[in-house]
Structure 1
Amino acid sequence: MISNRKGRSLTTTILFLLVAYFFLVWLPLHQLFSHKAQPTAIEKQWHRLNNIHINNSIERFPVTSYIPLPTSPVSIPRIQHDFPVESRRERKARLKKRETIKQTFLHAWSGYKDHAWMRDEVSPSSGRYDDSFSGWGATLVDSLDALVIMGLDDEFEIALDALKRIDFTTTPSSYVNVFEIVIRYMGGMIAAHDLTDGKHPILLQKAVELGEMIYNAFDTHNRMPQMRWEWSESAQNLEIQPGEVTNLAELASLTVEFTRLTQLTGDPKYYDAVQRITDVLEKNQQETRLPGLWPTIVDADHLWFDNAEFTLGGCADSAYEYLPKEHILLGAQTDQYRNMYTDAIEAIKKHMLFRPMLKDQDKQILFTSNLVVNRGGSVHQERFLQEHLKCFLGGTVGIAAKIFNRTEDMSIARELTDGCIWSYDVMPTGIMPEAMEVAACDDKDNCPFDDAKWYEGVWGDQLKTDSERHQVQKLIKHERLPAGVTVLRDSAYKLRPEALESIFIMYRITGDKSLQDAAWRMFKNIDKATRTKFGHSSIEDVRDSEPQLSDKMESFWLAETLKYLYLIFSEPSHISLDDYVLSTEAHPFKRPSGGF
């Protein structure tokens, strides 16, 4: 009996010591080194505008009858390619590349988390921070769905904990950029909600909190939003006006996010708000100086669309991108967006597409020009300008070609995408600049390279003497202009995603592995040129082998550029284009499949 008691006593002692070790030693150490440990928030040295919060403001121009949301989606043609089963060797190589991209994401995410947590952006070279978009933690919120997509569950939990502490009813900013706030913040929260099947109520709660705030920007005499919204005026129940100078893209690119918010909440006001904008755009689409297209700048106060400048680049891009995407998100229950897209693409094909004059290029490529148009429709000025922001167009045309059965446009989608790939490959660093002008072909079907014409494009006039030709040759050498490029309007690279966006979409549509090869080539060149101690930085000149860093890393580097790269090397079923609509900020929203 005594020996048994001793055995039990020894066992009890050992058990006690193990329990004590667990609570006193192992558990604290585990918590200390756990990835779920909440980072230290960078203190906000804000002086709030009289500590104003926009709660329960009174609408001056309330809506009395909401435009109803379509709720019975119908079949839409399949978008994605029917991919064959890959070999074990192909899978191993693909996953190795994807893992490299994931580690690159974690490098930049860690820099943000350690040095700018809950601020908008980390300064990737200096380790400082910047609040560019209302100070609500733009990188944190914009990256939520990327964390889910890449399977970074611990990091996602940390971000969710931080999200609970963000107050979307006030900001230190004097105005709110409605477009940027909606696509980065609201888009990030809605997508994370959709990707996790609503398992985290805080995501939709915060999306609604932000939606309630932003909805006040629509409280104007004509229900067009004030895009640079003086939010404190609304908070004090003062009247606000829509802008007489409003970017087309900002006004026309809220539909997908607001529609999805109505679908998820059942609150009709969000869809109603953006549908009113669409109705105005549709009404004026054939009344502009270039029927079918809208000018880059519009007067949202008087609903005038008489500006002379037209582009598919900055200030206009996502207005056209959202036409087929909103059609998909609405379940094809209205032909409005189909018809608007049809009118737009026909005008683009007629007036804007051009073939650049290139040397030693084995693929046909396309770019789009910028136009200045007189009243009556005659073109006053045409600039053959290739911009990085235009590189979304290949993917948009590809999606529209599939869902609208416009098979004749698929070659255009591919040639636009290949044009952006060329724009990367032709530069010394393998990185495309923000904007460059090129020599255009007079005949798109017969366009041999002509040195004399290229020289005249660089010079800006006819060359009359040998001295002028010699000066042009010196200028080309000094400016390091690739053959066919006449001037670099902006030689910077700002970590933009648009070219990779179109590569991702066209790869998912065609299954062409050469697109993966192009994406990998681009990734390696970008990573080499932009990597810093705390992330990745925009660079000043894509011609420099060791470019100057601008110490700027916008949230879309994580939310879009690296996400698209990750998806290009993921299984085609991962975020399938037949299951999701990706917003202009690359946030995947669930497509309706039979009611909401």
Structure 2
Amino acid sequence: MVYLRPSRVVLLGLSLSASSVLGGSIQKNDLSLPADAQTNRDRVKNIFTTSYNAYKDHAFGHDDYTPISKSFTDSRNGWGASIIDAMSTMWVMDLTDDLNEAIDFASKIDFSKSNTQDNVSVFESTIRYIGGLLSTYELTGKKNQALVDKAKQLADKLSQAWVGNSDIPYGHIDFTTNSPARDSSNIAEAGTLTMEWWALSKYTNDQKYTQLAEKSARQPVIDISCMLTGLPGQGIDPSTGNPVGGYVTWGGGSDSYFEYLIKYPRLTNTDDDFWTDMWSTAVDSSIKTLLSVSDVGNHLYLADYDSSRRIRHVGSHLACFYGGNWIMGGKLTNNETIVNYGLELVEGCWNTYSSTATGIGPESFAWKSSGPDGDYTGGSTPSAAQEAFYAQHGFYPTSSFYILRPEVLESNFYAWRATGDTKYLDRAAQAISSFEKYLKVDEGFAGLTNVDDNSANATKVDDMESFWFAEVLKYLYLTFDDPSHVSLDEYVFNTEAHPFQAPSAKEKYGTGVTPSSAPQQPEQSSTPTVSDVGPAATTSPMPSSLGLGGLGIRDAVKLFRKDLW
């Protein structure tokens, strides 16, 4: 095993500048909304109030509402996850009465014990409960001290997940015995604590929370067998800090680790370049290795990489946050090449929505690309129906359900705020219509078992999890809201879409990465191994969309792939 700090890595897809670059603003200046924005904003607000009123009537105080059976589940230890997750959205939508009721409820939660027999997830409790409590504390003028006190009570219990000298916490704790479940974890669980625990340190004046979260996020190492610089494997052993397997993905189990590498330095304005450089290295390695263009429809996706060192042509709704993340990070580092790749990835993920009968995307999907192993997914051979779907749409669903996930609409929101292109507003409006038509039930909104079934008797999923309130409806609402309200240049969203106030941007983030001035072809015919990468390594930059005889990003990716083969 070898751990390489980004400062020792030659970036493969981008050129490394010796001088600093100015950090860019994320939002486009002078964004203007069309006349129908108010109508669409009101439609989203109505979906929220309809959903939340149904939750209040049948499940208040519990974690999740089951809209078909009109009952509840307690998937997050019975502390009222939907209430805490909804609070920052209530503030955004100016739902004062509901917000005051929610704050009163939150101030009385006893986080010293679980209300269920389940172990407590450090990751889920951090992003939903601690994130929701501290974000609401900020948004409401920092006057509800009980919200900080409750976040501290929970974090103090969760801190027992760090055992001995281990830098990484175990993923779950038994709150009855105050002992962790000693099992393996993943880099998302290890690396998605920094924003929330830093905010807790800020409001308690106790740096131990930041120290715990930072050492956990710094620890993921690179499995030398993977050869993907800056892209640690998904699994990790908290007892040693070593990788478990070599599976690389921007999807579940890894996703928010990469997300926070760029969000944390923006929130804190830290002088430590580690975070931004690690993110830039991960993006660069992904551009070189994981970007993939479907051989039908020319859609750009981000593939996975398995322990057999093969590209898996698979994607997921969860992973579709990457478009918005690359747009944000590219803007922040003043790197339009990354921004353009992010925008193209947004297009690919939106294709998974626009291609289905309901206009809503599936949980997971696959595609084919030209070249060696172009149809490899690591799973079953596609059925005749999947082949037919692929021939028409350039991807095929591998899991067709939708459980009210936000990521595609999240990235669509970033694309709108960064470009001002009204096509992103049109897409958000289409999503609202699909939700109203296909998700609405008697009391509330439910997921779908098959997004390509638009029949009247299509089967629905009896669950309305808390991120419906925290993420989906917040991102949709803000897409049609005044862009100066919760500006991306003034707030940073945690992975549960709870906004945290950010200071004015620094002049630069990271050591300074800029797009290539002229496209070049790689000198090597294969990806360099980890041992090849270091101060003396020489690699050529990835072709950018600026040049190549007018070729766009997707054609450039295919040309680069062909050269590697």
TM class by shorter chain equals: 0.7 to 0.9
CA distance, structure 1, for counterparts of residue 402 and residue 248 of structure 2: 23
CA distance, structure 1, for counterparts of residue 32 and residue 47 of structure 2: 28
| 1:157 counterpart = 2:100 | yes
CA distance, structure 2, for counterparts of residue 75 and residue 182 of structure 1: 32
Aligned to 2:85: 142
**For 1:583, which of 483, 494, 497 is the aligned residue?**
494
Cα displacement (A) at 1:325 = 0.1
CA distance, structure 1, for counterparts of residue 485 and residue 283 of structure 2: 30
CA distance, structure 1, for counterparts of residue 169 and residue 138 of structure 2: 27
User: What are the Cα deviations for residues 469-510 of structure 1, in whole angstroms up to 9, with x where unaligned?
Assistant: xxx767756xx5562556432000111000011111111111
| 1:439 counterpart = 2:386 | no
Aligned to 2:444: 535
**For 1:190, which of 116, 134, 144 is the aligned residue?**
134
Cα displacement (A) at 1:334 = 1.3
Aligned to 2:538: none
CA distance, structure 2, for counterparts of residue 371 and residue 416 of structure 1: 18
Contact residue 67 and residue 441 of structure 2 kept, 8 A: yes
Cα 1:197–1:474 change in 2 (3 A) is: closer
Cα 1:458–1:148 change in 2 (3 A) is: closer
CA distance, structure 2, for counterparts of residue 220 and residue 227 of structure 1: 15
CA distance, structure 2, for counterparts of residue 486 and residue 594 of structure 1: 39
Contact residue 186 and residue 234 of structure 2 kept, 8 A: yes
Give 1:394-473 correspondences, 5 Å limit: 394-442=323-371, 460=381
Cα displacement (A) at 1:75 = 8.4
Give 1:439-518 correspondences, 5 Å limit: 439-442=368-371, 460=381, 476=387, 483-485=392-394, 487-518=396-427
User: What are the Cα deviations for residues 51-104 of structure 1, in whole angstroms up to 9, with x where unaligned?
Assistant: xxxxxxxxxxxxxxxxxxxxxxx9843111002555xxx34x111110111011
**What is the DSSP-based 3-state SS (H/G/I as helix, E as strand, rest coil) of the residue aligned with 1:232?**
coil
Cα displacement (A) at 1:288 = 5.3
**What is the DSSP-based 3-state SS (H/G/I as helix, E as strand, rest coil) of the residue aligned with 1:315?**
coil
Q: 1:255 is aligned with what amino acid? A: T
Aligned to 1:51: none
Cα 1:419–1:573 change in 2 (3 A) is: same
| 1:559 counterpart = 2:498 | no
Cα 1:439–1:484 change in 2 (3 A) is: farther
Q: TM-score, normalised by structure 2?
A: 0.80
Q: 2:454 is aligned with what amino acid? A: S
CA RMSD of aligned residues (A): 2.6
Contact residue 357 and residue 484 of structure 1 kept, 8 A: no
| 1:385 counterpart = 2:314 | yes
**What is the DSSP-based 3-state SS (H/G/I as helix, E as strand, rest coil) of the residue aligned with 2:153?**
helix
**Higher mean displacement: 491-500 or 283-292:** 283-292
**Higher mean displacement: 421-430 or 531-540:** 531-540
Q: Which structure is richer in relative contact order (CA contacts within 8 A, separation 6 or more)? A: 2
User: What are the Cα deviations for residues 90-135 of structure 1, in whole angstroms up to 9, with x where unaligned?
Assistant: 34x1111101110110000001111101100110111111000011
Aligned to 1:69: none
User: What are the Cα deviations for residues 491-539 of structure 1, in whole angstroms up to 9, with x where unaligned?
Assistant: 0011100001111111111111111111111221123111112211121
- Count the aligned residue pairs: 482
CA distance, structure 1, for counterparts of residue 484 and residue 419 of structure 2: 14
**Higher mean displacement: 195-204 or 127-136:** 195-204
User: What are the Cα deviations for residues 129-151 of structure 1, in whole angstroms up to 9, with x where unaligned?
Assistant: 10000110000011111111100
User: What are the Cα deviations for residues 214-266 of structure 1, in whole angstroms up to 9, with x where unaligned?
Assistant: 222224441421112223232xxx6x4753x2122111111111111112221
Cα 1:473–1:137 change in 2 (3 A) is: closer
User: What are the Cα deviations for residues 350-401 of structure 1, in whole angstroms up to 9, with x where unaligned?
Assistant: 1100011234xxxx64101111144xxxx2x322112111110001101110
Cα 1:118–1:475 change in 2 (3 A) is: closer
CA distance, structure 1, for counterparts of residue 287 and residue 23 of structure 2: 24
Contact residue 23 and residue 334 of structure 2 kept, 8 A: no
Cα displacement (A) at 1:542 = 0.7
Contact residue 439 and residue 484 of structure 1 kept, 8 A: no
**For 2:304, which of 367, 370, 376 is the aligned residue?**
370
**What is the DSSP-based 3-state SS (H/G/I as helix, E as strand, rest coil) of the residue aligned with 2:315?**
strand
CA distance, structure 2, for counterparts of residue 473 and residue 458 of structure 1: 15
CA distance, structure 1, for counterparts of residue 157 and residue 136 of structure 2: 20
Cα displacement (A) at 1:593 = 4.1
Aligned to 2:559: none
Q: 2:412 is aligned with what amino acid? A: I
Cα displacement (A) at 1:279 = 2.7
**What is the DSSP-based 3-state SS (H/G/I as helix, E as strand, rest coil) of the residue aligned with 2:176?**
helix
Give the gaps of 5 or more residues in structure 2.
Answer: 1-20, 507-565
Contact residue 43 and residue 432 of structure 2 kept, 8 A: no
Aligned to 1:175: 119
Cα 1:76–1:486 change in 2 (3 A) is: closer
**What is the DSSP-based 3-state SS (H/G/I as helix, E as strand, rest coil) of the residue aligned with 1:574?**
coil
CA distance, structure 1, for counterparts of residue 68 and residue 225 of structure 2: 49
| 1:291 counterpart = 2:237 | no
Q: 2:425 is aligned with what amino acid? A: Q
Contact residue 285 and residue 292 of structure 1 kept, 8 A: no
**What is the DSSP-based 3-state SS (H/G/I as helix, E as strand, rest coil) of the residue aligned with 1:392?**
helix
Cα 1:426–1:486 change in 2 (3 A) is: closer
CA distance, structure 1, for counterparts of residue 48 and residue 344 of structure 2: 30
**What is the DSSP-based 3-state SS (H/G/I as helix, E as strand, rest coil) of the residue aligned with 1:483?**
helix
Aligned to 2:242: 304
Q: Identity of counterpart residues, as a percentage? A: 31
CA distance, structure 2, for counterparts of residue 459 and residue 501 of structure 1: 30
CA distance, structure 2, for counterparts of residue 563 and residue 226 of structure 1: 31
Aligned to 1:222: 166
Cα 1:534–1:221 change in 2 (3 A) is: farther
Cα 1:458–1:405 change in 2 (3 A) is: same
Contact residue 112 and residue 157 of structure 2 kept, 8 A: yes
Contact residue 220 and residue 241 of structure 1 kept, 8 A: no
Contact residue 186 and residue 257 of structure 1 kept, 8 A: yes
CA distance, structure 1, for counterparts of residue 410 and residue 339 of structure 2: 16
Contact residue 82 and residue 465 of structure 2 kept, 8 A: yes
Cα displacement (A) at 1:587 = 0.4
Q: 2:105 is aligned with what amino acid? A: A
CA distance, structure 2, for counterparts of residue 169 and residue 538 of structure 1: 33
Contact residue 436 and residue 485 of structure 1 kept, 8 A: no
Q: 2:483 is aligned with what amino acid? A: P
Aligned to 1:251: 190
| 1:211 counterpart = 2:155 | yes
Contact residue 370 and residue 383 of structure 1 kept, 8 A: yes
**For 1:334, which of 264, 267, 272 is the aligned residue?**
272
Contact residue 489 and residue 505 of structure 2 kept, 8 A: no
CA distance, structure 2, for counterparts of residue 419 and residue 474 of structure 1: 21
Cα 1:474–1:549 change in 2 (3 A) is: closer
